Structure 1
């Protein structure tokens, strides 16, 4: 079944001195318009590779990605990206950082119109009183708010989030999770987020996509979230399915750990046996 976003047989291979390294293979995933999907898996499983290919920042080796009927061929304003570090220009104000993108996407708007767009999204993320504060003077949490405002101000068809709350303290993290969800509901932006946090995935997403270990990572299992929107954290935690889903997701990750340990042990044993084999005369 086709989706608003379609990833079909997506793959990424890097050339190395030891031959091709297949990082992601046969990755298939559809997202409905306005759907919030989390990619969850162990470090190094290829989550960021999938996200950067979707952003157009990393060339696709195999397969393709279609967004709203158009196959992507590189980066574009139809996709907004928020990384773990907000990547702001430290000498610019919050307003100026957001306007960097707004000026590119709305070149025919008046200066006042572009200013209003930037100010609107900065206010939504709680920075209405810090529009003209330099990024270098903002806290880490406030800088990430600027990054979120900048992404939304572009009016993207798809939002890509690479562990956007990973460097924040727990209180700031929870506050920004709820702010982000409020804006997403308002703007109905299709979203894909990378996280290592099972509870964050449960609270934020409509669907959690578990990735297998790399190399050759792919979709391992998909969990549908039964929680209503708008989300209320206490209600999500009290939902009768919450802890069953949480346990199943953790079990999947533990199973991946066991598979990796087994594969590593087999590879080590094969190496030992190869080293013990007698070498041909004159070798």
Structure 2
């Protein structure tokens, strides 16, 4: 059954000097409206490739992605994106950075209406007293708050998060995780997040999608989270299923590690064999 967001037989292939490189192949996933899904897997497994295709920033080779009954053909304001680095205009204030998107999405609104929208979301992320501070004068955590406010201010149908807390210290990361979840519950935005952090995935998501190693990465296993919303970190950690789920996810990642080492060893053996045959042929 199709969901609010549907990935069907999604694939991405790049042309290289050594021939086609298939990064993602036959990736299938359905997301319900308002659902929070984390993509979890090792570096290079294709998580960011899936996210950038969903954002319309990377062309799709095979299959497709449908969001709210519309197939993705390029970027659009229906999908808000927050990257690991917030990518702000350093000479602009926090308010001006959020207004860049708001002015495009609400062109018929009055100046005051657009400023109120931008100010509202900056206040939600804790920057109500820093609206007129230049981005270059904000800390890294505060800049990421601006990036989150900018994404929500567009009222997207889907939010895409590419390791948004990866460059932050642990205390700032936990604080922003909780702020983000509060806004998501309020606005009911369907969300796809990339992370390497098992504990972050467990705390944030409704569903954790484990990806197999690349090349030809795909969905390997899906875990449903049994934790109630709104989330309370201490209650999640004390839930009887928490450590079993955590252990199963780590086991999956370790199995992928083992398969990669085995594949690498087989490739090395094959290369040595070909080199030896080449020497004998001379």
1:95 aligned partner: 95
- The 5-angstrom pairing of residues 35-184 of structure 1 reads 35-184=35-184
Structure 1 position 244, deviation (Å) = 0.2
CA shift in 2, pair 1:89/1:16, >3 Å: same
Give the alignment's Cα RMSD to 1 decimal: 1.0
In structure 1, runs of 5+ residues without a counterpart are none
1:238 aligned partner: 238
Q: Deviations over 1:4-41 (max 9, x none)?
A: 00000000000000000000000001100000000000
Structure 1 position 276, deviation (Å) = 1.5
Q: Give the distance between the partners of 2:264 and 2:138, measured in 1 at CA.
A: 45
1:261 aligned partner: 261
Structure 1 position 279, deviation (Å) = 6.5
Q: Deviations over 1:79-98 (max 9, x none)?
A: 00000000000000000000
In structure 2, runs of 5+ residues without a counterpart are none
Moved over 4 A (4+): 278-281
- Number of residues paired by the alignment? 282
Q: Deviations over 1:221-262 (max 9, x none)?
A: 000000000000000000000000000000000000000000
2:24 aligned partner: 24
SS in 1 for 2:243: helix
SS in 2 for 1:210: strand
Q: Deviations over 1:116-159 (max 9, x none)?
A: 00000000000000000000000000000000000000000000
SS in 1 for 2:151: helix
Q: Give the distance between the partners of 2:40 and 2:62, measured in 1 at CA.
A: 22
Structure 1 position 274, deviation (Å) = 1.3
Structure 1 position 280, deviation (Å) = 8.6
TM-score (norm 2): 0.99
Q: Give the distance between the partners of 2:139 and 2:42, measured in 1 at CA.
A: 29
1:210 aligned partner: 210
Q: Give the distance between the partners of 2:41 and 2:269, measured in 1 at CA.
A: 27
